C-alpha cells in the first residue's frame, strides 16, 4: 500500500507551457452528423423506412491533458482539464501516483482532498460543490499526453507496450494487467480450497464408461435401414433392406421397408428403437445423464455425467462418443446435501476447476441461497453393495434388478430423494422382505405412514393386521388401499373376498366415501354393488359413488329407510336419482318464484303502465313486458343466464332504474328469444340470448334501433301533450 504521507511530500505541480499550448492550439470544430429521427410505417413493408436528420455538433479534439514524470521510484501523472486551463487554472484536477515495485496506485484530487484507487479510465470527481457550482471533472477518451516516453520506460519492464501507446494507454494497460493478476491470485486461493475437497473423491470404476454407453443409454437407440440394390434380367428391382441395431450391433436383411421415425424393437436384444432411413437423417444424437454414488469420508458423494453419442451421415454413421462429469454433490451419512460442485472453466484461465453452486430459492422471502439439487440420472448400480456395506440391507439391494435405483433398465431416478427416503423409511426393508413389494413402493412414493406403527418389531404390529391378511396381500400383490380394506374388515369382523379386495386395491378406493355407516352395508357388498352399477351406467367407480351418495341423501329427505335393501341396493339408482333431483329442483324453483312475487309486488302493479309504454311490434319481432317478478326467474332458467338468478334486476325494476323486457318472435311469443335491459327512454343497456350469448346485431340490431326511436318519439309526443294541456 502506498502511504499518503509519502505521496503528500510530492505536491502537484502546475501545468507546463506545453500543456497550455496544446489547449490553445485546439480550435472549436463543427461536425454535421446524420442521426435517426423516426421510423414511418406504410401499407406494406416496401413502403416503410427510416427518417434521418442532419445534426450539427460543435466540439474540441482535446478534452484533457496528461503530463507524465518520474519522481524517484514513482510515476506521477498530472491530469488537467480543458475547462480549467481555458480559464487560467493551472492546477491539476487529478494526480495519479504509481509504484510498480509494490504494484499499487493512488488517485489524489487536490480540490477536494479525496483519495481513490480507481483505474485511470474510471477516474472522476463525483462530489460537486453545490454552493460554488464547481465544475465536476470526468475522464474523457480524447486526451493529449506529454512525457509518454517516460511513462513507457517506467512500465515497460513489467509488460510489453504497443508502438502507438500514449502515457494514458500505457498506464491503463499496466493497471488492467495488475487487476487480472490480483483476480487470478484471489481465484487460486478459492480453487485450492475446492481442489482439496475434490482430492478425496475416489476414482470411477473401470467399467463405468462402457456401462454408460451400453446400458445407461438403452432408451435412446436407433435402427438404421440401408437399401441393398439388386435387379433381375428384366430390370425389375428385387433388392432387400439391411437393418443395423445401434445397441447390440446386429445386422440382418429383410423385405420389410419399414417407416421412417417409427418405433420398433430389435428381434435379437428386445431393445426399443426408432427406425431411421440411411442417408435421410444427417445427424443422429443420443444424450443422457448418468450417475454414480461413492464413499466420501464418513459420507457419500453423488457424481453426474453427461454422455453423448453422435453419428453423422458424412462418416457413414460411425459413432463418436463423449463423456463429461458435470456435477458432484457431497452428502453426510444421513444423505443430507452439504455442497454441490459443478465443472467449469475459470475466468481468464484455461485450467478447469470445480465451483460450488448455490441457487436462490424464489419461493421464500427474502430470497435465500440454497444448495443446487442433483436432479435426475440413470444410476450405476454395480458398486452399490460395496458402498452401502455399512447401511441397512435394504440399501445394499439397490443394485438388484427392479430396485428403487433401477426401476427399469435405462430409466432415470432422483437419487438424493430416493436415498433420504430410504433412510427415513428404513422399516420398509422388512415390508419388501415379506414380499409386499407394491405396498412398500406406495408408502415410499407417497409417504402414507399415518396408520402404521413404524416402531413395531413384528410385521403384524407394523401393519395392524393379522398374519392371514399379510399372506393374502403377498399372494395377490396388494398395496396400500387393500391394506386399509383388510384392516377395516378385521376391526368390524367382516369377510372380504379376493374379488372385492383386488377391486379396492386396483381402483384405489377409499373406504370413508362409501357411506357404510349410513347404509349398514358390509364393505364387500358396497364395493361390488357400486362397481356393478358403474359398469351398467358406463361410469367410473368414483363417479358412480358420488351419484350413489346423492341418491342416499335424496332418499333420506323423502323419509326412506336407508337400511332397507330395496333402498340401499336398488337397481334403479340412476332413474330414481334423476327423477327425485328434478322434483326437488321444481319445488325449489316454485318456492323461489313465490318468494320473489311476494317481495317485488310493484312489478305486477306497474304492468299496465309498462306494457303501454314499451309496446312495439314490427317486422316479425315484438316486445313482451314481464307480468310479475317470477317471469324473470323463469326467463333466466330457460335461457340459462343471470337475469333471474339474483334479485338485482327485480330491484332495479321496482325502483324504476331500468327495465327487463323480452324480445320474442311475433309468431312464437311464448318461446324466449332475447332478454333486454333498457331505460325508460328506450336505450338498450344490454341484450343476451341463451347461455349469455351476445345478439346477432346484423339480424336484430336495426330492429333495436327502431325500437329506441319509437320509444323516444312516444315520450316526446307525451311531453308535447302535457305542455299543451298546461298552456290551456
**pLDDT digits over 30-63, tens only?**
777 776 656 555 555 455 566 667 777 777 888 8
Tell me: pLDDT of 305 over 90: yes
The residue ranking higher by pLDDT, 557 or 41, is 557
Task: Give strand ranges (E) for 63-209.
Answer: 64-71, 74-81, 94-99, 104-109, 114-116, 143-146
Q: What is the pLDDT averaged over residues 7-24? A: 81
Q: What is the pLDDT of residue 349?
A: 44
Per-residue pLDDT of 649-706, as tens digits, reads 999 999 999 999 999 988 888 888 899 999 999 888 888 888 888 888 778 888 888 9
Split at pLDDT 50, 70, 90, the class of 490 is: very high
pLDDT of residue 721: 86
Strands in 352-356's sheet, in edge-to-edge order, are 352-356, 337-345, 320-331, 299-312, 283-296, 378-379
**H-run or E-run covering 713:** helix 697-727
Quick one: which of 603, 657, 608 has its CA closest to 635? Answer: 603
Question: What residues does each domain of the chain span?
Answer: 4-26+61-177, 208-378, 512-595, 600-725
Among 45-59, 115-129, 522-536, top mean pLDDT goes to 522-536
Calculate the alpha carbon distances from 297 to 101, 201, 394, 595 in Å.
45, 9, 22, 80
N-to-C CA span, the chain? 110
φ, ψ of residue 231 to 5 degrees: the values are: -130, 150
pLDDT at 345 over 80: no
Element (H, E) at 344: strand 337-345
Beta-strand pair 49-59/29-40: antiparallel
Contacts of 568 (CB under 8 A, 6+ apart): 519, 520, 521, 552, 562
Sign of CA dihedral 12, 13, 19, 20: positive
More confident residue, 611 or 197: 611
The alpha carbon dihedral of 40, 41, 45, 47 has a sign of: negative
DSSP track, 616-684: -EETTEEEE--SSHHHHHHHHHHHTSTTTTSSHHHHHHHTTS-EEEEEEETTBTTS--EEEEE-TT--E
How far lies 86's CA from each of 22, 132, 146, 321, 492, in Å? Answer: 11, 18, 18, 70, 105
Higher pLDDT, 409 or 544: 544
CA distance 47 to 39: 11
* Dihedral sign (CA 158, 163, 165, 166): positive
**237-271: pLDDT as tens digits:** 677 889 999 888 899 988 888 899 999 999 988 88
Instruction: Could you please state the CATH topology (level 3) that the domain comprising 600-725 is classified under.
Output: Aminopeptidase (3.40.630)
Higher pLDDT, 195 or 109: 109
Neighbours of 210 (CB within 10 A): 11
Residues 6+ apart with CB under 8 A from 99: 2, 73, 74, 75, 105
The enclosing H or E element of 308 equals: strand 299-312
Pairwise pLDDT comparison (127 vs 354), residue with the higher score: 354
Check the CA dihedral 540-543-545-551 and report its sign.
negative
Supply the pLDDT for residue 111. 82
Q: Is the peptide bond before 366 cis (omega within 30 degrees of 0)?
A: yes
In this predicted structure, the answer to whether residue 449 has a pLDDT above a threshold of 90 is no
pTM of the entire predicted model: 0.60
How many residues are listed for the chain in this entry?
728
Q: What is the pLDDT of residue 344?
A: 67
Angle, in degrees to the nearest 10, between helices 573-599 and 523-537: 80
Q: Per-residue confidence at 109, pLDDT binned at 50, 70, 90?
A: confident
List Cβ neighbours of 142 (8 Å cut-off, separation of 6 or more).
60, 61, 62, 63, 64
Picking from 711, 716, 682, the residue whose alpha carbon sits closest to that of residue 724 is: 716
> Which residue in 135, 141, 133 sits closest to 61, CA to CA?
141
Amino acid at each position: 500500500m502506498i502511504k499518503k504521507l509519502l505521496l503528500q511530500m510530492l505536491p502537484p505541480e502546475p501545468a507546463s507551457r506545453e500543456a497550455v499550448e496544446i489547449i490553445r492550439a485546439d480550435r472549436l470544430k463543427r461536425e454535421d452528423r446524420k442521426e435517426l429521427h423516426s421510423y414511418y410505417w406504410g401499407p406494406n413493408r416496401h413502403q416503410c423506412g427510416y427518417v434521418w436528420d442532419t445534426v450539427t455538433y460543435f466540439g474540441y479534439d482535446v478534452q484533457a491533458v496528461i503530463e507524465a514524470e518520474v519522481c524517484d521510484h514513482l510515476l506521477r501523472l498530472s491530469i488537467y482539464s480543458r475547462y480549467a486551463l481555458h480559464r487560467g487554472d493551472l492546477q491539476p484536477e487529478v494526480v495519479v501516483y504509481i509504484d510498480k515495485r509494490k504494484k499499487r496506485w493512488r488517485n489524489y484530487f487536490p480540490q477536494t482532498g479525496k483519495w481513490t484507487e480507481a483505474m485511470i479510465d474510471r477516474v472522476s470527481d463525483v462530489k460537486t460543490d453545490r454552493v460554488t457550482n464547481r465544475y465536476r471533472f470526468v475522464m474523457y477518451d480524447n486526451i493529449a499526453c506529454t512525457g509518454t516516453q517516460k511513462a513507457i520506460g517506467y512500465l515497460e519492464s513489467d509488460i510489453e507496450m504497443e508502438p502507438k501507446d500514449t502515457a494514458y494507454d500505457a498506464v491503463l494497460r499496466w493497471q488492467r494487467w495488475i487487476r487480472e493478476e490480483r483476480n487470478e491470485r484471489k481465484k487460486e486461493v478459492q480453487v485450492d480450497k475446492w481442489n482439496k475437497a475434490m482430492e478425496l473423491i475416489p476414482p470411477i470404476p473401470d467399467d463405468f464408461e462402457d456401462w454408460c454407453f451400453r446400458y445407461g443409454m438403452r432408451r435412446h437407440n436407433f435402427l438404421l435401414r440401408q437399401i441393398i440394390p439388386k435387379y433381375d434380367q428384366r430390370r425389375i428391382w428385387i433388392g432387400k433392406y439391411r437393418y443395423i441395431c445401434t445397441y447390440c450391433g446386429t445386422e440382418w436383411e429383410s423385405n420389410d421397408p419399414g417407416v421412417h421415425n417409427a418405433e420398433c424393437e430389435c428381434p435379437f436384444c428386445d431393445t426399443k428403437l426408432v427406425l431411421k432411413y440411411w442417408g435421410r437423417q444427417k445427424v443422429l444424437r443420443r444424450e443422457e445423464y448418468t450417475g454414480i454414488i461413492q464413499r466420501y469420508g464418513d459420507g457419500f458423494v453423488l457424481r453426474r455425467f453427461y454422455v453423448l453419442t453422435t453419428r453423422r451421415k458424412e462418416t457413414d454413421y460411425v459413432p463418436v462418443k463423449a463423456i463429461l462429469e458435470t456435477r458432484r454433490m457431497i452428502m453426510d451419512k444421513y444423505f443430507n446435501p452439504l455442497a454441490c460442485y459443478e465443472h467449469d472453466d475459470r475466468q481468464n484461465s484455461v485450467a478447469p476447476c470445480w465451483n460450488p453452486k448455490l441457487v436462490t430459492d424464489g419461493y421464500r422471502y427474502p430470497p435465500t441461497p440454497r444448495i443446487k439439487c442433483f436432479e435426475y440420472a440413470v444410476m450405476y448400480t454395480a458398486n452399490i453393495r460395496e458402498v452401502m456395506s455399512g447401511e441397512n440391507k435394504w440399501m445394499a439391494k439397490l443394485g438388484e434388478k427392479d430396485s428403487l435405483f433401477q426401476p427399469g433398465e435405462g430409466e432415470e431416478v432422483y437419487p438424493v430423494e430416493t436415498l433420504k427416503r430410504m433412510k427415513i423409511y428404513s422399516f420398509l426393508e422388512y415390508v419388501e422382505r415379506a414380499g409386499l413389494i407394491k405396498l412398500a413402493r406406495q408408502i415410499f412414493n407417497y409417504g402414507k405412514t399415518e396408520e402404521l406403527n413404524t416402531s413395531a418389531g413384528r410385521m403384524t404390529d407394523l401393519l395392524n393386521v393379522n398374519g392371514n391378511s399379510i399372506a393374502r396381500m403377498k399372494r395377490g400383490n396388494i398395496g396400500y388401499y387393500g391394506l386399509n380394506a383388510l384392516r377395516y374388515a378385521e376391526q368390524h369382523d367382516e369377510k372380504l373376498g379376493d374379488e372385492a379386495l383386488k377391486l379396492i386395491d386396483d381402483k384405489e378406493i377409499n373406504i370413508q366415501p362409501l357411506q357404510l355407516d349410513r347404509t349398514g352395508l358390509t364393505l364387500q357388498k358396497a364395493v361390488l354393488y357400486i362397481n356393478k352399477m358403474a359398469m351398467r351406467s358406463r361410469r367410473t367407480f368414483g363417479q358412480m359413488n358420488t351419484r350413489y351418495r346423492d341418491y342416499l341423501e335424496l332418499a333420506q329427505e323423502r323419509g326412506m329407510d336407508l337400511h332397507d335393501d330395496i333402498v340401499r341396493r336398488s337397481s334403479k339408482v340412476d332413474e330414481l336419482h334423476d327423477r327425485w333431483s328434478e322434483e326437488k329442483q321444481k319445488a325449489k324453483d316454485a318456492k323461489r318464484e313465490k318468494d320473489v312475487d311476494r317481495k317485488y309486488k310493484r312489478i305486477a302493479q306497474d304492468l299496465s303502465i309498462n306494457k303501454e309504454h314499451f309496446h312495439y311490434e314490427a317486422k316479425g319481432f315484438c316486445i313482451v313486458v314481464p307480468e310479475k317478478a317470477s317471469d324473470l326467474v323463469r326467463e333466466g332458467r330457460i335461457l340459462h343466464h343471470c337475469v333471474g338468478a339474483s334479485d338485482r334486476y327485480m330491484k332495479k325494476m321496482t325502483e324504476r332504474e331500468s327495465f327487463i323486457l323480452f324480445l320474442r318472435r311475433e309468431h312464437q311469443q311464448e318461446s324466449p328469444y332475447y332478454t333486454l335491459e333498457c331505460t325508460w327512454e328506450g336505450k338498450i343497456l344490454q341484450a343476451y340470448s341463451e347461455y349469455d350469448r351476445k345478439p346477432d346485431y346484423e339480424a336484430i340490431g336495426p330492429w333495436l334501433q327502431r325500437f329506441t326511436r319509437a320509444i323516444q318519439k312516444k315520450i316526446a309526443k307525451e311531453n308535447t301533450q302535457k305542455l299543451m294541456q298546461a298552456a290551456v
